[in-house]
Amino acid sequence: MRFFPVLLISVLLTACATPVSHTNISLSTYDKDTEYGLEDRSDGFGITVYYSRYQFIPESNAVATACKSAVTSIAWEIAEKKGKQIEPINEQRIRISMGRNGLSGITSCQAFAVAKWKQ
């Protein structure tokens, strides 16, 4: 019975969490830390970004900032490739979900935003 508290503490310390997915679209690789997916809309497109990286000391704020930055920069890049301009993406409108795997040290983020075409 003594091993139960040790087992419970071990399980709690190694528990992992994954970010909640906002969409069910397939993702393409952007770089070693980033994947993205696009959802065409009549007024623009929806963009989903999955960003993850190793962190010895967890800094969720740094990953969240990098994730939001990836959403906006990839959206601008996609719009440029399509030969159109988009309205600035309001950071407050980016839906974000965070997760951390305590065993591997990977902190991850999934973000979704809508990029609207400029009129």
- Span 98-107, average pLDDT: 87
pLDDT tens-digit series, residues 34-93? 999 999 999 999 999 999 998 888 888 999 999 999 999 999 999 999 999 999 999 999
- Span 11-32, average pLDDT: 70
Q: Using CA atoms of 38, 19, 31, 55 in order, give the dihedral in degrees to the nearest 10.
A: 160
Q: How far apart are CA 1 and CA 15, in angstroms?
A: 22
- Which residue would you say has higher pLDDT here, 12 or 30? 30
Q: Is the distance from CB of 44 to CB of 86 less than 8 angstroms? A: yes
Q: How far apart are CA 11 and CA 4, in angstroms?
A: 10
Can you give the pTM of this predicted structure?
0.80
Q: Give the distance from CA 35 to its chain's centroid.
A: 8
Q: How far apart are CA 47 and CA 89, in angstroms?
A: 11
